[in-house]
Structure 1
Amino acid sequence: MLGGFYDEVVVGEAVETIGRTITESDVVEYANTTGCWLPIHTDREFAAETDFGERVVQGTFLLGLAEGLLYSNEPTGIRANAGMNDVEFRRPVYIDDTVHFEVEVLEKTPRDEESGVVTLGVEGKNQRGETVVEYRTNLLMITTGAFENDD
Structure 2
Amino acid sequence: MTDDTETDSDSDSNPNQNESTDKQLISGWHGRYYEDFDVGDVYKHPFGRTVTETDNVWLTNVTMNLNPMHFNEAYAAETEFGERLVDGTFVIALAVGMSVIDVSVNATANLGYDNIRHHNPVFHGDTVFAESEVVSKRELESRDHVGIVETELRAYNQHGDLVLSLERTPMVLKRSHAEPSAAEPPGWPEGIGTQPEDC
Normalization by structure 2: what TM-score?
Answer: 0.68
Q: Which has the higher contact order (CA 8 A, sep 6+)?
A: 1
Q: Quick check: 100-109 or 63-72, which moved more?
A: 63-72
2:148 maps to amino acid: V
* Residue 104 of structure 1: how far off its partner (Å): 0.9
Residue 21 of structure 1: aligned partner? 50
What is the aligned length?
148
Residue among 103, 127, 131 paired with 2:162:
131
Partner of 2:33: 5
Match of 2:74 among 45, 52, 65: 45
Give the letter aligned to residue 15 of structure 1. Y
Q: Is the 8 A contact 1:2 1:9 kept in 2?
A: no
Instruction: Report whether the alignment pairs 1:110 with 2:139.
Output: yes
Q: Which amino acid aligns with 1:64?
A: A
Q: Report the TM-score when normalising by structure 1.
A: 0.88
CA deviation after TM superposition for structure 1 residue 89, in Å: 0.5
Q: Report the residue type matching 1:76 in the other structure.
A: V
Q: Secondary structure at the match of 2:101?
A: coil
Aligned to 1:144: 175
Asked if 1:84 corresponds to 2:113, the answer is yes
Give the RMSD, CA atoms, in angstroms.
Answer: 2.2
CA distance in 2, matches of 1:8, 1:55: 41
Rounded Cα–Cα distance in structure 2 between residues aligned with 1:2 and 1:90: 33
8 Å CA contact 2:113, 2:169 repeated in 1: yes
From the two aligned structures, give the one with the greater strand fraction: 1
Q: Residue 99 of structure 2 contacts residue 131 of structure 2 at CA under 8 Å; is this kept in 1?
A: no
Q: Note the alpha carbon deviations across 1:49-72, whole angstroms, 9 max, x for none.
A: 112211111111111101222223
SS in 1 for 2:140: strand
| 1:68 aligned counterpart, secondary structure | helix
Q: Which runs of 5+ in 1 are unaligned?
A: none
- The corresponding residue for 1:97 is 126
Larger Rg: 2
Query: By how many angstroms is 1:127 displaced?
Result: 0.8
2:73, 2:177 → 1: CA distance? 51
Distance (Å, rounded) in 1 between the aligned partners of 2:138 and 2:65: 35
What's the CA shift for 1:2?
A: 8.5
CA distance in 2, matches of 1:37, 1:147: 44
Q: Percent identity?
A: 33
Q: Aligned with 1:71: secondary structure?
A: helix
